[in-house]
Amino acid sequence: MQIVCLIAVFVFSILTIISIFKPGIGGFWMKYLKVKEPTRIQAISANFIIAFIFAGIGAFTDPDRHYSEGMSALKSEKYTEAIQEFSQLEPKSKYFKEKEALIEKVKNEAKKHYDVKIKKAITDMDMDTASSLIDVQTRIAGAATINKQKAKLLINAEALKLKDLMLQSEKDGNFEQAVGYAAKLQKVEKFKNEAEKKIEHYNREISLKKAEEDMSKEIQAKALAEEKERQKYLSKEETRRSSQISEPSQPSIGGTLRTSYFEITLNDAAVGTSIATGNPFIDQEQGRAGSGNKFIVLDVTFKNIDNESRMPTDGALYFLINGKEYKFDKTEVILAEGWGLFFDQLNPFTKIRTRIVYKVPAELRGTVYWQPGRADKKHRFVFNL
């Protein structure tokens, strides 16, 4: 039957081509349909339709059709469809004897395919996806390589590894990376609550770190702008102020010194491993020096003695160790009223009292020098720890 259909398709295809030029010859057979002189359109359409019908009949009666469609489905990774096609192979097909082997081949291919996907889902700690894939693999291949209980155990093992990486990143201060690990841990029910708390903590640390960096950049930019302004008018400013500046001295706690712009009083200096601002949240997050460190807290009053507004800056602590001077010029950011200098601009003759905090190694002892911002080396406070 299939050979007859192929011959018919070939004949009517030729007649379709002939009908383009000679519709009377190409459509000669239409006289039996009482169409004596068919038009070109009639002859072409009739021949094409007949060829198409025979082609369809030939395809439908092809005993190897299910084999071809099964192999196509297998190649496209449509395993269920491939099994259905191979199951419909008929005895007259030359592939009928291979029917069971073909179905087994599909199952093996499906098992390998889903093994890869299940392992990836386990690595990604996605139990829902892994469970769904195990069900599909079982339905197609008859059994799963990994059952759901084992998949859950493997995911928990992966989660423990990820937790270790998260805690190490936290220890290293890499909170951005730690957030990424915690976000993956959220997929695992056993670690979900802990991961959510960690993400909240890490995001808070990231926000604080960014605020510190932004504030530091703004302070530096402001200080640089003022320094440029000072340098611009240095020649006439220094002449006018020389009579106002006291002789170089090194006052101690309770003492006062004058710089070009400010009269500065060191009211007190304290040492400790923690600070108390009155705000429990700030004291918990920012008020601990950490292992091996301590805080030096300076209670300072700045008074503007210039004829225009000025911004005081922290300055630096100096330690003389084994004949070498060490500079500590980074101050701690304490987000509380009365702590630090946050772009405070003072008008002439106004003053501000605040606490400036430095973090230093716990083992440092002896004489400490504090040089306020934009003061020269001759203008320092001195006190002992």
Instruction: Give the end of a domain, one of 60, 82, 98.
Output: 60
Q: Domain limits at 289?
A: 247-384
pLDDT at 238: 60
Rounded CA separation 191/340 (Å): 40
How much is the pTM? 0.40
What's the number of domains the chain is made of?
Answer: 3
Rounded CA separation 305/350 (Å): 8
20 and 33 Cβ atoms separated by less than 8 Å: no
Residues 142 and 44 placed together within one structural domain of the fold: no
Instruction: Give the end of a domain, one of 146, 169, 200.
Output: 146
pLDDT at 119: 92
Rounded CA separation 267/354 (Å): 10
Rounded CA separation 271/298 (Å): 9
pLDDT at 371: 95
In a domain, 375, yes or no: yes
Sheet containing strand 316-321, edge to edge, reads 324-328, 316-321, 367-371, 381-384
In a domain, 306, yes or no: yes
- State pLDDT tens for residues 188-216: 888 889 888 989 998 998 999 888 888 88
Rounded CA separation 330/219 (Å): 12
pLDDT at 297: 95
In a domain, 227, yes or no: no
In a domain, 102, yes or no: yes
In a domain, 285, yes or no: yes
How many residues make up the chain in this entry? Answer: 385
Residues 14 and 126 placed together within one structural domain of the fold: no
Residues 44 and 132 placed together within one structural domain of the fold: no
Within the chain, which residues score under 70 in pLDDT?
Answer: 1-3, 5, 57-63, 235-249
